Amino acid sequence: MRTTRLLLASLLLTARAVVAVAQAPNDTTSVVESIEVKRADSKEPKHESLKFLKDNRVFIRAQIDLLRVQTTRTQAERAAIIDSRYLALKEMSAAIAAARDTVSADSMLTAQRRLMASVTELGELERQIARVEALLADHRTRLIAIEGDFLGHQETALVIVLRGFTGKHAPTTVVIAEEGEVVRVELTPEQRTSLEQGGVAQVYHQFVEPRAHVFDVGFEGEGWPAASTLPVTVDAVRDRLTFLSLDLSRLDPSGEAMGLLTDVWYR
Amino acid sequence: MRRIITLAVFFACAAPAAAGEHASFSARAGLDVARDAASSWAPDAQLVYLENDEAVGADGTAARWGYLFYSVAKAKARGYSVRDGKVLEASDLSFDVEAAPLAEQWIDSAAARAAAEARAGAEYCRQFNGRLAAMLLIRGAFHEKKPDATTWALVYQSASQPPLFVIVDASNGDVVRTLRG
């Protein structure tokens, strides 16, 4: 995976007081690599690919072995072109700061004028309101410009969220595995409490290949059988943020029929 | 390059692919999809090889192309088979291929096929009832004089004759050699 960033956040959903939790930045994420020897998987792919290469791999590798790759690094010192949109962002920031100053000044004036209470100054007050409205309109225009520049740059990514632990013990660990890549998400007591009170936890947020993925999702902790995993299929759409919600409200950890509810949406 | 003569000649490639209703596209048209997937797998992944996964039509398009990427950081190669604008298969290569990254500029499969047909491919097919079995893009393996060159290799075969290899310089479409093996 291109990014190993793992975010954890528990969100308040119920009216009860539940503390929202957001953590697990890069510096707290640990990666442990383990090695296990297994028999090679002999199953044939459904759609054969790169057949010529595979059929003639000895010849092609021999040809490649005859080559020598020379890497040359050339560093040129010169001015770099800056994306004009970043300059525009700077201008926008300056405009926003200036607007803030204007609003502050207007606020101060308004406070002073409360003391004056003169009917003749109502016209000035209206002009100030109009000016603030114009500033808001400018802000809206800037936001639209930013959206136009930066929307559409979304890369293929997948977010997995968990919910539905009300009335049951939340697990201490969530394990998400696919093709030898295992992500273990430890839940803190505060996060588990939040989940048990109806909260939602984001346990996975990574760039993924735009294809159908089959994850084995497992849970560890009190009341959760260690060996059981749930296969979950999700089709990650290219250049979109795919959300996969796993609802465990109807899941019986001790039963054979797991009853996992899934929901997928895209942004 | 006489060793080409001893190649196992991928007769299975001769089986017509059942493209069905799937739209055909050129090799470059599927590259962005494969590259996006590869960059998710490894940020340093680079395209090192591609070939048709289903039969190539007369216009140089196919319903499925296979793209192989190599990651130096992972010391692994991973292939992506693209059809209908989506990754149909993604799998690690089961053997080592440390091929050099392909050049950024290469002529598309349609132009490569046209060049090969004009030089020797069409004549081979006409004379020996042959057909194009495979076309692949690789750097360094088939161009003896310019090993740095990225080349298309088009492989024609016939039931009665040894296969014909037409090597096309992918930078300009020149046929740099033909050989029978």
Interchain CB contact of B7 with A (< 8 Å): yes
Listed by start position, the domains of chain B span: 23-92, 104-180
Strand order in the sheet with A200-207: A21-23, A8-11, A200-207, A157-163, A241-247, A261-266
The pTM for the full model equals 0.60
B104-180 CATH pick, 1.10.15, 1.10.3470, 1.10.1060, 3.10.450 = 3.10.450
Q: Which residues of B touch A57 (CB under 8 A)?
A: 95, 97
Bridge partner residues of A194 (DSSP): none
Residue A158, SS3?
strand
Residue A148, SS3?
helix
Q: Calculate the average pLDDT of chain A.
A: 74
B23-92 CATH pick, 3.40.1130, 3.30.70, 1.20.1740, 3.10.450 = 3.10.450
Lowest mean pLDDT among A33-37, A215-219, B138-142: A33-37
- Confidence check on the interface: ipTM exceeds 0.85, yes or no: no
Reported as a single tens digit per residue, the pLDDT across A29-85 is 667 777 777 776 656 778 899 999 999 888 888 888 877 777 665 545 445 454 555
* Pairwise CB contact (< 8 Å): A208 & B68: no
Q: Which residues of B touch A47 (CB under 8 A)?
A: 53, 64, 81, 83, 88-89
* Pairwise CB contact (< 8 Å): B140 & A63: yes
Interchain CB contact of B19 with A (< 8 Å): no
The class of domain A8-25+154-266 in CATH terms is: mainly beta
| Residues comprising chain A, all counted | 267
Decide which of A111 and A208 is more confident: A208
Taking residues B45-65, what's their average pLDDT?
96
Res B158 pLDDT > 70: yes
| Chain B residue whose CA is closest to A56 | B8
Decide which of A141 and B45 is more confident: B45
| Chain B residue whose CA is closest to A240 | B36
- Cα A93 to its chain centre, rounded Å, is 26
pLDDT at position A45, please?
74
